[in-house]
Amino acid sequence: MKTSQDLFKQLDEAESLFSKGSIKVAQKKVREVITKSKELDKVPNKLRHKINFAIGQSRYFDDMSSFATNPKREELIKEISTIIESPLESPKKQAHLIHDVQTKWQLLDLSSRPASKEQWNKFNELTNKAWEPCSEYFDELKQIKINNAAQRMEIVNNINKYVEDNSSNWPQPKFLIQFLRQSFDEWQKYAPVLDKDLNKLRNAYFEAKKPINDAIKKQEQIVIKAKEALIEKVNAITDEDNDICIKKFNDLKNEWKKAGSAGRKADNKLWDKFNKSADRFFNAKKEVIDAELIKANELLSQLKGDEISINEILKSLSDLKNISKTKEFNSIQKQINNKRKEQESKQRQNKIDSYTNLLDAFLNNELTNTQVPSSIKNKLNKMPLEKSSSEALTYACVKLEALAGIDSLKKDAQLRQSIQMEMLTNKFNKVSDKLNSFDDLLIHFVNNISAKPTAAEKTLWKRVLKTFEILV
């Protein structure tokens, strides 16, 4: 039993708490003292006076709290009135809003003296009125939850039926997993359900799935053993020819694919182990490929330095069988093609230059020059004419322009038309034209120019030169 001295001490603590602003804690302590004082045989007057003083303090702070909180309560009453006057389109949102206002009211009750009876009745009445539009919504929601529960129970029944129909001869795991996924997708559609139904349905669902999950695990164990056996077979592969080893491994890989699923987690681990067992073959293969790539790059360097021809490097590369499908080999092939294009371009330019120099070589009697195209060197007259044949020169020039697809001068329009008609007729009648090739026309032009070309002849030659870029 508490003594009066203990109670005096508690009241001193309460007074200290009041002064520090810990009103609720102090009030609680005062209430405890009042309760304990009733257990005393006799309450000393001094203690009674101190208790009455503490009660007065507690009431004072209650009055002060009420003075501060009453306006806040009136504001909450106003908030509820506004909700009634302007209800929200969404009953769900309105319910949340009402709940927020109620929570604020409760917090005020906890932090101060409870509201007056009049205030509370007014707030409660308005809250009930504001809730009326939400009642229908939640009634409908309740019915939806009830219907969802019925649908989920139907799914459980379907699973049980599936187990009954297949338990004597289970399908492969992939089909069982597919069925469970479909069932789960259906299950997810029918949410939410009432809280009271949630655990019962969940337990029934998991219980129904258990035989299927057990069957999956049992079959996965069989697959695990089969795949472990395949790993052992890989470890046992030996042959002097590494390519044969790789072929044997690939054959076992096909068996692996047919073995089925061992479950994602187990499959990943087994697949890792399976591939690592074959690392020795592919590491050996890589060494061969790396050696061939070194050789290929050496050949490429020789090609770039014009030490070997393109035909020589292609012949040597054909012996390097292991790199044909590598990215590096594709890169080497591209570089070879670029080198080929470079050489062809250079050769073409050299040929163009040789044709360009042809007239000067002829006029200067320098046809022995190695730069003169050998294809036409022997077909040229040994000496230029004293006087040119302007008609022959113009004919050769315009026909070269026609072959090159270059526009001729307006003054040569009639000749151009006549030449094109002649070419078309010869083609249609399959008649050979002695002056239908680039070389023949060029020989014809050079053989008909004078030893000392006139300005007009030089102009015609310039026109001929423009056809070289297209025809050579």
DSSP 215-240: HHHHHHHHHHHHHHHHHHHHHT---S
Comparing 163 with 380, the larger pLDDT belongs to 163
Mean pLDDT confidence for 413-422: 92
Q: In degrees, to the nearest 5, what angle opens at C-alpha 30 toward C-alphas 25 and 33?
A: 130
CB 397 within 8 A of CB 409: no
Residues 6+ apart with CB under 8 A from 409: none
Residues 6+ apart with CB under 8 A from 102: 127
Buried b (16+ CB within 10 A) or exposed e, 40-56: eeeeeeebeebbeebee
Mean pLDDT confidence for 250-263: 90
Q: How many C-beta atoms lie closer than 10 Å to residue 64's C-beta?
A: 13
- Residue-level pLDDT at 410: 94
pLDDT tier, 187 (very low <50, low <70, confident <90, very high otherwise): very high
**Which residues does residue 385 pair with via DSSP β-bridges, in sequence order?**
450
- How large is the C-alpha radius of gyration of the chain? 53
Comparing 24 with 470, the larger pLDDT belongs to 470
Scanning the structure block, which residue is given the tokens 């070194």?
294
List pLDDT tens digits, range 89-141: 888 888 888 888 888 877 776 656 667 788 788 888 888 888 888 877 788 88
CB 76 within 8 A of CB 115: no
**CA-based nearest residue to 193, from 144, 154, 155:** 144
Helix (H, G, I), strand (E, B) or coil at 450: strand
- Residue-level pLDDT at 375: 75
pLDDT tier, 186 (very low <50, low <70, confident <90, very high otherwise): very high
Model confidence at 34: pLDDT above 70:
yes
What tokens does 211 get? Answer: 């035989």
- Residue-level pLDDT at 472: 84
Mean pLDDT confidence for 205-231: 94
Mean pLDDT confidence for 411-424: 92
Average pLDDT, the chain: 86
- Residue-level pLDDT at 210: 96
- Residue-level pLDDT at 60: 54
- Residue-level pLDDT at 347: 87
Q: How many CA within 13 A on the CB side of residue 325? A: 3
Whole-model pTM: value is 0.46
- Residue-level pLDDT at 74: 83
pLDDT tier, 23 (very low <50, low <70, confident <90, very high otherwise): low
List pLDDT tens digits, range 315-371: 988 888 888 888 988 998 999 999 899 888 888 888 888 888 888 888 888 777 667
- Residue-level pLDDT at 112: 64
CB 61 within 8 A of CB 18: yes
pLDDT tier, 413 (very low <50, low <70, confident <90, very high otherwise): very high
Which of the residue ranges 64-68, 123-127, 182-186, 432-436 has the most confident prediction, judged by mean pLDDT? 182-186
